[in-house]
Chain A
Amino acid sequence: MSDPRDEAEVAAHSAAPRETSARRPKLAKKVRVRFDDREKKWMLLSPERGLLLNGSAKRIVELCDGTRTEAEIAALLADEHGAAPSTVAEDVTKVMHELRARVLVEPGT
Chain B
Amino acid sequence: MTSSPSPSASPRPRPYTLVAELSHRCPLGCPYCSNPLALVPRSEELPVETWREVLDDAHELGVVQAHFTGGEPLLYQELEALVAHAESRELYTHLVTSGLPDGASRIAGLARAGLSAVQLSLQDEGEASADAIADVRAHAKKLVFAEATRSADLSLTVNVVLHAANIGNVRKIVEMARGLGASRLELANTQYLGFALANRASLLPSAEAIAEARAIAYEKTKEHFGTMEILFVLPDYVRGVPRACMDGWGRRFVHVAPDGTVLPCHAASMLPDMGFEKVTATRLRDQWESGEGLARYRGTGWMHEPCASCDRREIDFGGCRCQAFALTNDAANTDPACKLSPDHGLVRDAVRERLDPPRRYLFRGRKASS
Q: Does B14 contact A (CB under 8 A)?
A: yes
> Could you list 20 examples of A-B contacts with CB < 8 Å?
A1-B35, A2-B121, A2-B186, A3-B34, A3-B266, A5-B186, A5-B231, A8-B315, A9-B234, A11-B218, A12-B214, A12-B221, A14-B221, A17-B225, A34-B90, A45-B92, A46-B117, A50-B64, A103-B184, A107-B226
Closest to A36 in B: B64
Task: State how many angstroms separate the Cβ of B292 from the closest Cβ of chain A.
Answer: 23
Q: How far is B227's CA from A38's CA once the two chains are assembled, in angstroms?
A: 33
Task: State how many angstroms separate the Cβ of A52 from the closest Cβ of chain B.
Answer: 11
Q: How far is B184's CA from A49's CA once the two chains are assembled, in angstroms?
A: 12
Closest to B14 in A: A38
Q: How far is B155's CA from A29's CA once the two chains are assembled, in angstroms?
A: 7
> Which B residues form the contact surface with A (CB < 8 A)?
14, 16-17, 19, 33-35, 62, 64-65, 67, 69-71, 90, 92, 94, 96, 116-117, 119, 121, 153-155, 157, 159, 161, 183-184, 186, 188, 191, 214, 217-218, 220-222, 225-234, 243-247, 253, 265-266, 315-316
CB neighbours (8 Å) of B184 from chain A are 47, 103
The residue from A5, A14, A102 contacting B188, defined by CB atoms under 8 A apart: A5
CB neighbours (8 Å) of B96 from chain A are 1-2
Q: How far is B222's CA from A18's CA once the two chains are assembled, in angstroms?
A: 10
Q: How far is B186's CA from A9's CA once the two chains are assembled, in angstroms?
A: 12
The answer to whether A4 and B221 touch (CB under 8 A), given A11-B232, A103-B228, is: no
Interface of chain A residues 1 through 52 with chain B (CB within 8 A): 1-6, 8-18, 28-30, 32, 34, 36, 38, 43, 45-48, 50
Task: State how many angstroms separate the Cβ of A48 from the closest Cβ of chain B.
Answer: 7
Q: Does A68 contact B (CB under 8 A)?
A: no
Contact B226 A12 (CB under 8 A): no
The answer to whether A102 and B64 touch (CB under 8 A), given A11-B234, A47-B117, is: no
The answer to whether A47 and B155 touch (CB under 8 A), given A11-B214, A103-B228, is: yes
Q: How many A-B Cβ pairs are below 8 Å?
A: 125
The answer to whether A12 and B232 touch (CB under 8 A), given A1-B70, A28-B183, is: yes
Contact A2 B229 (CB under 8 A): no
The answer to whether A3 and B246 touch (CB under 8 A), given A12-B217, A28-B155, A103-B228, is: yes
The residue from B155, B221, B315 contacting A30, defined by CB atoms under 8 A apart: B155
Q: Does A100 contact B (CB under 8 A)?
A: yes
The residue from A4, A9, A38, A107 contacting B62, defined by CB atoms under 8 A apart: A38
Which of A45, A48, A108 has the most CB atoms of chain B within a 10 A radius of its CB? A48
The residue from B64, B221, B231 contacting A15, defined by CB atoms under 8 A apart: B221
Contact B229 A101 (CB under 8 A): yes
Task: State how many angstroms separate the Cβ of A53 from the closest Cβ of chain B.
Answer: 13
Closest to A100 in B: B226
Closest to B218 in A: A12
Task: State how many angstroms separate the Cβ of A40 from the closest Cβ of chain B.
Answer: 13
CB neighbours (8 Å) of A6 from chain B are 243-245, 247
The answer to whether A15 and B222 touch (CB under 8 A), given A4-B67, A10-B231, is: yes
CB neighbours (8 Å) of A101 from chain B are 225-226, 229
Contact A5 B233 (CB under 8 A): yes
CB neighbours (8 Å) of A32 from chain B are 92, 116
Closest to B69 in A: A1
CB neighbours (8 Å) of A30 from chain B are 116-117, 154-155, 183
Contact A4 B17 (CB under 8 A): yes
CB neighbours (8 Å) of A29 from chain B are 153-155
